[in-house]
Amino acid sequence: MSQKKPKKPSIEQRLMDTVKTQMEWIEAPAWKRIIAFVFDMFLVLPVTNYLYKYGSWIPAVVTAIYFIGCEMSPWKGSVGKRMMSMKVLDDNQGQVDIQRLFIRYITKIISLALLGFGYWPLLNGSKKRPLPDRLSHTMIIALTPIKQKT
């Protein structure tokens, strides 16, 4: 008779267990998203710059594979999002399928190419989600301490 090993708690659960402050998942603030994106660019840009000499389309494909692949993984986000304790989920807070992630990636690129137009609601403090999140029916959530009411 084989005994099943108890399921190991997720890293988020272990983090919440070690921190003395109560934590909750909320919609990710702009500053966390920006830091995660900058960190991801520090990882991706050296690779894409090297690959550019093999064809101008290769860096775009590699970048798409990085973001879409990471967001489909059990981490539910890129390395930068993981570092900032964030996840990409669908509107029902479930796993996002590849079609939605592809739409999210394409609209993210278009928004950034248009001077960040799709992200303006996020930057001006509006409660609206950025355009790539709305069009792909996704959301970014972040693990954040619960604010204590005094």
Question: What does each of the 150 residues of the chain score in pLDDT, given as a tens digit?
Answer: 556 777 787 777 776 666 667 788 899 999 999 999 999 999 999 999 999 999 889 999 999 999 999 999 999 999 999 999 999 999 988 899 999 999 999 999 999 999 888 888 888 877 788 999 999 999 999 998 887 766
In a domain, 14, yes or no: no
Domain tally, the chain? 1
CA–CA gap between residue 67 and residue 96 (Å, rounded): 13
Q: Which domain holds residue 48?
A: 23-121+129-144
In a domain, 43, yes or no: yes
In a domain, 56, yes or no: yes
| Closest of 88, 93, 85 to residue 103, by C-alpha | 88
Q: For the sheet with 138-145, list strands across it.
A: 23-27, 138-145, 86-90
In a domain, 57, yes or no: yes
In a domain, 2, yes or no: no
Structure tokens given for 76: 């539910």
The answer to whether 81 touches 87, Cβ cutoff 8 Å, is yes
pTM: 0.81
CA–CA gap between residue 14 and residue 128 (Å, rounded): 31
In a domain, 18, yes or no: no
